């Protein structure tokens, strides 16, 4: 599970994240929505251990990130918005290296990497250099890497960007399957349809603060909206200013 | 108290660079072999020329008893001073990219890596990137001097053992300066500051050599 308590991040006099608290239970897919610059990526980077919070507490599967960073990170998978892949490695080598970063060795890595390549439909490309991959294939490879070490919690920042419909469907299926196995998933997205379709609970962040959280019907109630779609609810809650920033698929 | 899990070894962190080099060698495009051959030939030619120059100069200076010895000492002091400054500055610049601007840092920092291991791996990379050229150019000079003066085997052993700290210390100092700089300025601004420092460094080096020449 992922639990965040009163998280604050300041850059000089600017407060990017202002007292964010949220909890993602095992088996839950939690959507993290908000307009551009609301603080989604900063929050996710703090949970991933890439940024140090100004104050607040982050627990990943019971491990305090500030006190036990390695244990917390070992049980966490992270799929960033702009992932890095070594272009001169093959897909298999990249997964093997990634597994090694998480302490995986020997046959366990080989078996798991083939499982991941098959799951993300990259089996044929195991021995091909990553530089020859399309954006969607790279995205799927990064997701495979994030699930390599069987994390109990996964952080995903904008998972659907650049994926074709088939790739997007595949990712949705994988996320559902993983949550079915008890993995807690915190997913930041601009694609409201994806959030609506996949997330058990949603938190909406605006100007660094969580302004609403709950299931889609609960959010509809908070916004006082009768619309069936999440888009008008989101716009109502965020003051409509996010209209141009919504990237609907 | 901070915990420290076993995690990947220091060598594991160097694997992407090793595998990438192996893949480059295996998957050659047309003309790659020719380019590599030309590059290797030019490199070998330069090393040979340095060796020949060093050997000839030392051979000639050996004819002039005390003056010859003095001139060899002076020449080597200048050479080592220049290379020392070059190593320190090179370490400064390389550390900025390996420790702070490298693209793979986000991947590594999100992994359960002990900070100490990551630091050593990054320092190893900084050391390799900033010093290989100096080592390649210094070795022929020392071998040339040794052969011209019919030096015993202990000379070569001393040269190699001296070369290691000669390379490690200035690169470590350069890296330390970068770490301090980035704690004061953001990494990208530190890069601009380093460019300015580069100009000052070149000017300082010229001044130092001129003063050293006069006092010598």
- Is residue A68 less than 8 Å (CB to CB) from chain B? yes
Q: Which two tokens stand for residue B143?
A: 């071998």
Which chain A residues contact residue B23 at CB under 8 A? Answer: 88-90, 93, 129
Q: How far apart are CA B19 and CA A60, in angstroms?
A: 33
**Is A80's CB within 8 Å of B110's CB?**
yes
User: B27, B29, B32, B107: best mutation site toward chain A, by most A Cβ within 10 Å?
Assistant: B107
Q: How confident is the model at residue B4 (pLDDT cuts 50, 70, 90)?
A: very low
- Is residue B7 less than 8 Å (CB to CB) from chain A? yes
SS3 A6: strand
**Is A73's CB within 8 Å of B111's CB?**
yes
Percent of chain B as helix, strand, coil, to the nearest 5: 85, 0, 15
Residue B151 buriedness (CB in 10 A; 0-12 / 13-18 / 19+): middle
Does the pLDDT of residue B29 top 80, yes or no?
A: no
Q: Which two tokens stand for residue A74?
A: 């070992």
Residue B102 buriedness (CB in 10 A; 0-12 / 13-18 / 19+): middle
Neighbours of B68 (CB within 10 A): 17
- Chain center to CA of A104: 22
Q: What is the pLDDT of residue B7?
A: 64
Q: Which residues pair with A129 in a beta bridge?
A: A90
Q: What is the pLDDT of residue B215?
A: 62
**Is A69's CB within 8 Å of B16's CB?**
no
Q: What is the pLDDT of residue A246?
A: 47
pLDDT digits (tens, 9 = 90+) for B36-65: 889 999 999 999 999 999 999 998 988 887
- Is residue A128 less than 8 Å (CB to CB) from chain B? no
What does pLDDT average to over chain A? 89
Q: What is the pLDDT of residue B127?
A: 95
Q: Which two tokens stand for residue B106?
A: 């986000």
CB < 8 Å from B in window 178-237 of A: none
Does the pLDDT of residue B2 top 50, yes or no?
A: no
Does the pLDDT of residue B25 top 90, yes or no?
A: no
Q: How far apart are CA B54 and CA B29, in angstroms?
A: 38
At a CB cut-off of 8 Å and minimum separation 6, what does A233 contact? A216, A219, A220, A223, A225, A227
- Is residue A103 less than 8 Å (CB to CB) from chain B? yes
Instruction: Give how far B214 is from chain A: nearest CA, Å.
Output: 50
Does the pLDDT of residue B216 top 70, yes or no?
A: no
Largest CA distance in chain B: 67
- Is residue B20 less than 8 Å (CB to CB) from chain A? yes
Does the pLDDT of residue B5 top 70, yes or no?
A: no
Does the pLDDT of residue B211 top 80, yes or no?
A: no
Q: What is the pLDDT of residue B41?
A: 94
Q: How far apart are CA A206 and CA A209, in angstroms?
A: 5
Q: What is the pLDDT of residue A242?
A: 46
Contact A79, A156 (CB under 8 A): yes
Q: What is the pLDDT of residue A233?
A: 80
Q: How far apart are CA B111 and CA A73, in angstroms?
A: 6
Contact A141, A85 (CB under 8 A): yes
Helices (H), A49-164: 69-74, 91-101, 106-119, 135-148
SS3 A12: coil
pLDDT digits (tens, 9 = 90+) for B76-117: 888 898 899 889 989 988 998 899 889 999 999 999 998 888
Enumerate residue ranges in chain A where pLDDT < 50. Answer: 241-244, 246-249
Neighbours of A41 (CB within 10 A): 21
- Is residue A64 less than 8 Å (CB to CB) from chain B? no
Instruction: Give how far A228 is from chain B: nearest CA, Å.
Output: 38
Q: How far apart are CA A148 and CA A128, in angstroms?
A: 19
């Amino acid at each position: 599970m992922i639990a965040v308590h009163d998280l604050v991040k300041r850059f000089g006099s600017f407060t990017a994240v202002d007292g964010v608290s949220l909890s993602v239970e095992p088996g839950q897919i939690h959507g993290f929505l908000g307009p551009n610059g609301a603080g989604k990526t900063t929050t996710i980077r703090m949970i991933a251990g890439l940024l140090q919070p100004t104050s607040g507490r982050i627990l990943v599967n019971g491990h305090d990130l500030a006190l036990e960073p390695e244990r917390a990170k070992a049980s966490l998978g992270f799929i960033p918005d702009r992932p890095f892949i070594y272009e001169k490695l093959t897909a298999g080598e990249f997964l093997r290296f990634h597994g090694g970063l998480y302490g995986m060795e020997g046959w366990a890595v080989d078996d798991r990497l083939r499982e991941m390549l098959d799951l993300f439909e990259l089996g044929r490309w195991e021995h091909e250099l990553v530089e020859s991959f399309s954006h969607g294939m790279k995205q799927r490879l990064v997701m495979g890497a994030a699930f390599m070490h069987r994390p109990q919690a996964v952080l995903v920042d904008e998972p659907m960007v650049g994926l074709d419909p088939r790739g997007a469907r595949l990712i949705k299926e994988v996320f559902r399957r993983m949550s079915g196995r008890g993995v807690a998933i915190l997913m930041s997205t601009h694609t409201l349809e994806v959030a609506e379709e996949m997330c058990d609970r949603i938190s909406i962040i605006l100007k660094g603060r969580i302004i609403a959280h709950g299931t889609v019907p609960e959010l509809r109630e908070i916004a006082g909206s009768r619309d069936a779609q999440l888009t008008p609810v989101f716009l109502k809650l965020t003051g409509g200013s996010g209209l141009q920033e919504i990237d609907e698929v | 108290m901070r915990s420290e899990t076993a995690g990947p070894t220091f060598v594991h962190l160097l694997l992407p660079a090793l595998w990438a080099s192996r893949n480059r060698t295996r998957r050659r495009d047309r003309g790659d072999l020719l380019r590599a051959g030309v590059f290797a030939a030019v490199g070998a030619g330069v090393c040979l020329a340095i060796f020949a120059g060093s050997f000839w100069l030392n051979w000639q200076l050996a004819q002039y008893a005390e003056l010859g010895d003095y001139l060899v000492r002076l020449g080597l002091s200048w050479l080592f001073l220049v290379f020392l400054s070059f190593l320190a500055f090179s370490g400064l610049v390389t550390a900025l990219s390996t420790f702070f601007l490298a693209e793979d840092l986000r991947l590594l920092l999100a992994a359960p890596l002990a900070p100490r291991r990551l630091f050593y791996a990054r320092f190893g990379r900084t050391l390799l990137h900033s010093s290989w050229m100096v080592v390649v150019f210094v070795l022929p000079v020392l071998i040339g001097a040794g052969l011209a003066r019919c030096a015993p085997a202990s000379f070569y052993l001393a040269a190699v053992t001296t070369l290691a700290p000669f390379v490690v210390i200035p690169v470590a100092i350069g890296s330390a300066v970068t770490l301090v700089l980035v704690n004061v300025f953001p990494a990208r601004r530190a890069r601009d500051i380093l460019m300015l420092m580069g100009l000052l460094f070149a000017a300082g080096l010229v001044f130092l050599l001129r003063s050293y020449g006069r006092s010598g």
